Structure 1
Amino acid sequence: MNQPALNTLLEGLIHTWENEVVEFKQAGNDYDTNKIGEYFSALSNEANLRGLERAWLVFGVSNKTRGVVGTSYREDPERLHSLKQQVAQSTEPSVTFRDIHELKHTDGRVLLFEIPAAPRGIPIAWKGHYHARAGESLGSLGLDKQDEIRQQTLAQDWSAQLVPAASLADLDEAALYKARDAFAQKYANRFSSDEVMGWPLSTFLDRARITQNGKITRTTLLLLGKAEAAWHLSPHPAQMTWKLEGIERAYQHFAPPFLLTTSQLYQRIRNIQLRLLPQDELLPVEVSKYDQKIVLEALHNCIAHQDYMRNGRVVVIEQPDRLVFENEGSFYEGAPGDYLEGNRIPRRYRNPF
């Protein structure tokens, strides 16, 4: 956000003054980080309850004069932005500022901390305590407000929610081509390949049930979005991580489009060929250490069934003798053992869209 836009934003916030989602502080260089965390929790929770995308904590404005007086808080840029990590470490679930904007106002330096609304269904705690606002006052998040937030996701599908700020320009061309090709193969008995390839992009995405009436959903961005468009899903990281453990150690993060990057993550796994000598056989048999189909099925399940409200990434840990797949959320329908023999049919899914 440029300086004129920040100045206009500040003027608007001062005009409406403090409320449940805006707090002003003069703030010196030694302003208490713990107090910032409490305000972060309170403002984030209140923004959620009011259906807003963000709240604001503003340093450099006097409560007495309602005017800019400037702030000396963390004038070193590196130290200022380290506050993001400090907040992320003590919030539950882990979340931090969308951005810290610095305005060079004529009356002094102003910091505008952009605080994301708490995810639907999940209140934000600071060091284990939930905070809220009553007008301009800071207090505890009451049980009634906690229940109101937690009940938000009882009948909501995170994956189906629209992303109004996103457009078709945020989608990856290679992923779109792959999606069309896969769709054409799956429905070859209904549509010719040329017909599918000739559809307008919005028509194809609607028929593939990835968009809704041409509008971009979170599913669209996860599966087909460009890596640089992942910010639309904030505070969710929209990320998979491969981690190598053992004598050698390494890791790599993978962003959308997941339709393509799941295969890229698989390529990082050291799937060596093993030589086995069957009993009563003369010649050894070569087999892969891991079956590609099973690995990708596990990874795709991690993506399809993750609890996205918890804002976590999918992690694949490669140990010397095994692969460990991790995603957020408990088992959704029944228990894992119910499905081992293939007889259990799930009645519901966490992310049906």
Structure 2
Amino acid sequence: MSEDLNVILREMIDLPAETEWIEFKEAKINFDFDDLGRYFSALSNEANLYGKPAGWLIFGITDRSPRKIVGSNYRLTPPGLDRLKEQIAQHTNHQMTFAGIYERKTDGKRVVLFEIPAATRGIPTTWNGVVYGRIHESLGPLALHEIEEIRRQAPLDDWSAKVCEGATHADLDPEAIAFAREEYKKKHQHLAGEVDEWDNASFLARAKVCSQGRITNAAIILLGKSEATHLLVPAIAHITWVLRNEDEVEIDYAHFGLPLILAVDRVFSRIRNLTVRYISGETLFPLEVTQYDPWVIREALHNCIAHQDYLQSARITVTERPGSLMFTNRGNFIPGTVRSVIERDTPPDRYRNPFLANAMVELNMIDTIGSGIKRMFRIQRDRNFPMPDYDLDEEGVVRVTIPGRVIDERYTRMLIERKDLTLMDVITLDKVQKGRPVTREERDALREKKLIEGRSPNLYVSASVAAETDTRADYIRKRSFDRAYFKDMVVAYLQTYHEARWPEIEGLLLDKVSDALNEKQKREFIKSLLKEMRKEGTIVTVGKTRGAKWVLAPSPSEKV
């Protein structure tokens, strides 16, 4: 690889001019990270459009002919280039990142080569939700016709689009087709007067459920009779609802098979969507709302159907617990991160099952603009409920939990009063309230708005927010007193009792240290405090480790 890469580099240097998929930069020391990301997107998309396996960004070489090797010290010191792949993946769709980052000595000077994979067929590469491209030396948003050119590229394989061998129109459920017609009319109101005149074959073709008159896997999933399940083998298209109690004991369950277009409402009917009451702060009377918004439930289920990897032969599951619903489907979360979905205002790049997803769009099950997940978060916020939780930790599985219990009412009042908070602010504050980890970027954004305090990972709502939400007592418990306060307590104790061992110091301070720390962290804080006092000459240690005790250090006059 080393020799091959040197040959590739020499060939690129000798090119008469920059190509759309190769960019040279001097980048002697610094290079803006956001610019690096924009070049990643642009070169990836251009490589796709020009049929190249990868684009290249090269630091340490001038960009004008004749090119000169000037060397680059970009990220020369630790952590250097080590974390760059991870950092880039946080801002691209599908966590796309460099295929390789290489350092080479050429003519005794350091050159850094970034190998950028070409955009996947049908999926333009984005940076912070924007699709970039190049026109000679210019860098900017990729032209719309070029974006569409990439999106029109057929995925290499779409199981949902394949003809279901042996299936005929007789395998489709008449009730499901009738329901699909009504939903199609809602989606295409200008055609409502014509739909009833179409025969089934014409309707299914217009609804993009069938392909050239033949029954697809997508058609069986959405509209197939229950007895047509065997036609999909080894794939499974079932939904299971499970009810668990506080002790995680299963107390009820039900299975729902084909057709899935009707199964969604049948699952919905089994969910115990109870009424909850809370004081909003806007009125003296309690508000009564259902635990779950019906649209949110259906959207979560429709997403499971659209994104399920059916060839894993697993069921979609809905697990109902007291106060929450969890939806589980098989297959990796294609957008990469939930944050990228929330922040971008562009259509989704792709679905795992494009043909099935397109049919669901036509039948009014999912939205073409891909705002479903973002809308779920907005609805939960408007209802003053906790945000949805996405668990993507297990490879090949997506779990989404919709909380059905109100956040602490004091915190809920803050959401009502602080209309200036962005959706991302609320989502991140929701994590802090739940004790969940937040990224450095999220933490910094909340700190800038003075919404949180504390040191990672022990963050808590700031004093200003605590005042607004009437959680001052909780804030004081979590805020650590000034270290001088604790030192004064130790000094006062030693002045009174002359000496103290560890259990006595611990008993003196432990319950007064910030509640944002766990027990282990509180003890480490106390040890650090005593060590600091010893270095300052305030106290001294007497005896060996096990029986050691602390006493006040003698004053200068006592030493004489």
> How high is the TM-score relative to the length of structure 1?
0.54
Q: Give the 5 Å matches for 1:17-166.
A: 155-166=156-167
Residue 349 (structure 1) shift:
1.9
C-alpha change, 1:351 and 1:277, in structure 2 (3 Å) is same
Determine the structure 1 residue equivalent to 2:308: 306
Alpha-carbon distance in structure 2 between the residues aligned to 1:274 and 1:223: 34
Determine the structure 2 residue equivalent to 1:123: none
The amino acid across from 1:284 in the alignment is P
Determine the structure 1 residue equivalent to 2:227: 228
Alpha-carbon distance in structure 2 between the residues aligned to 1:315 and 1:344: 29
Determine the structure 2 residue equivalent to 1:240: 239
Alpha-carbon distance in structure 2 between the residues aligned to 1:204 and 1:230: 23
Determine the structure 1 residue equivalent to 2:198: 199
The amino acid across from 2:340 in the alignment is D
Residue 204 (structure 1) shift:
0.6
The amino acid across from 2:189 in the alignment is A
Residue 299 (structure 1) shift:
0.7
Determine the structure 1 residue equivalent to 2:177: 176
Alpha-carbon distance in structure 2 between the residues aligned to 1:230 and 1:297: 24
C-alpha change, 1:285 and 1:335, in structure 2 (3 Å) is same
Alpha-carbon distance in structure 1 between the residues aligned to 2:353 and 2:189: 27
CA deviations 1:49-92 (Å, max 9, x no partner) are: xxxxxxxxxxxxxxxxxxxxxxxxxxxxxxxxxxxxxxxxxxxx
CA deviations 1:104-130 (Å, max 9, x no partner) are: xxxxxxxxxxxxxxxxxxxxxxxxxxx
2:236 and 2:310 in contact (8 A); partners too: no
C-alpha change, 1:283 and 1:349, in structure 2 (3 Å) is same
1:237 and 1:313 in contact (8 A); partners too: yes
Higher helix share: 2
Alpha-carbon distance in structure 2 between the residues aligned to 1:249 and 1:288: 22
- The count of corresponding residues between Structure 1 and Structure 2 is 199
C-alpha change, 1:338 and 1:225, in structure 2 (3 Å) is same
The amino acid across from 2:228 in the alignment is A
The amino acid across from 2:303 in the alignment is N
Does residue 324 in structure 1 map to residue 326 in structure 2?
Answer: yes
Residue 303 (structure 1) shift:
0.5
User: Unaligned 5+ residue runs, structure 2?
Assistant: 1-154, 356-560
Residue 344 (structure 1) shift:
5.4
Alpha-carbon distance in structure 2 between the residues aligned to 1:257 and 1:273: 30
Determine the structure 2 residue equivalent to 1:97: none
Determine the structure 1 residue equivalent to 2:265: 263
C-alpha change, 1:186 and 1:343, in structure 2 (3 Å) is closer
Determine the structure 2 residue equivalent to 1:291: 293
Alpha-carbon distance in structure 2 between the residues aligned to 1:186 and 1:348: 21
Structure 1 consecutive aligned stretches of length 4 or more whose deviation exceeds 3 Å: 341-345
The amino acid across from 2:323 in the alignment is D
Q: Secondary structure at the match of 1:242?
A: strand
Residue 185 (structure 1) shift:
2.4
Residue 283 (structure 1) shift:
1.8
Alpha-carbon distance in structure 1 between the residues aligned to 2:276 and 2:336: 36
Alpha-carbon distance in structure 2 between the residues aligned to 1:187 and 1:344: 22
State which structure, 1 or 2, has the greater radius of gyration over its C-alpha atoms. Answer: 2
CA deviations 1:180-236 (Å, max 9, x no partner) are: 1111222122x243x211211111100100001111001101101111111100112
2:236 and 2:311 in contact (8 A); partners too: no
C-alpha change, 1:280 and 1:173, in structure 2 (3 Å) is closer
C-alpha change, 1:338 and 1:249, in structure 2 (3 Å) is same
Q: Secondary structure at the match of 1:253?
A: strand
Determine the structure 1 residue equivalent to 2:502: none
Does residue 334 in structure 1 map to residue 333 in structure 2?
Answer: no
The amino acid across from 2:185 in the alignment is A
Q: Secondary structure at the match of 2:334?
A: coil
Q: Secondary structure at the match of 2:231?
A: helix
Alpha-carbon distance in structure 2 between the residues aligned to 1:303 and 1:239: 9
The amino acid across from 1:210 in the alignment is V
Residue 237 (structure 1) shift:
2.2
RMSD after superposition: 1.8
Q: Secondary structure at the match of 1:249?
A: strand
Q: Secondary structure at the match of 1:327?
A: strand
Q: Secondary structure at the match of 2:343?
A: coil
1:241 and 1:313 in contact (8 A); partners too: yes
Identity %: 41
Alpha-carbon distance in structure 2 between the residues aligned to 1:173 and 1:198: 16
Residue 264 (structure 1) shift:
0.7
Q: Secondary structure at the match of 2:353?
A: coil
Determine the structure 2 residue equivalent to 1:115: none
The amino acid across from 1:339 in the alignment is V
C-alpha change, 1:280 and 1:229, in structure 2 (3 Å) is closer
C-alpha change, 1:332 and 1:304, in structure 2 (3 Å) is same
Residue 347 (structure 1) shift:
1.9
1:164 and 1:215 in contact (8 A); partners too: no
Residue 280 (structure 1) shift:
5.7
1:274 and 1:288 in contact (8 A); partners too: yes
The amino acid across from 2:180 in the alignment is A
Alpha-carbon distance in structure 2 between the residues aligned to 1:320 and 1:332: 30
Q: Secondary structure at the match of 2:189?
A: coil
Alpha-carbon distance in structure 1 between the residues aligned to 2:318 and 2:184: 28
CA deviations 1:322-342 (Å, max 9, x no partner) are: 111101111123222211234
Structure possessing the higher relative contact order (Cα contacts under 8 Å, 6 or more residues apart)? 1
Determine the structure 2 residue equivalent to 1:84: none
1:333 and 1:349 in contact (8 A); partners too: no
1:160 and 1:217 in contact (8 A); partners too: yes
Alpha-carbon distance in structure 2 between the residues aligned to 1:213 and 1:260: 25
C-alpha change, 1:245 and 1:342, in structure 2 (3 Å) is farther
C-alpha change, 1:288 and 1:215, in structure 2 (3 Å) is same
The amino acid across from 2:241 in the alignment is W
C-alpha change, 1:346 and 1:280, in structure 2 (3 Å) is closer
The amino acid across from 2:312 in the alignment is R
C-alpha change, 1:345 and 1:322, in structure 2 (3 Å) is same
User: Unaligned 5+ residue runs, structure 1?
Assistant: 1-153
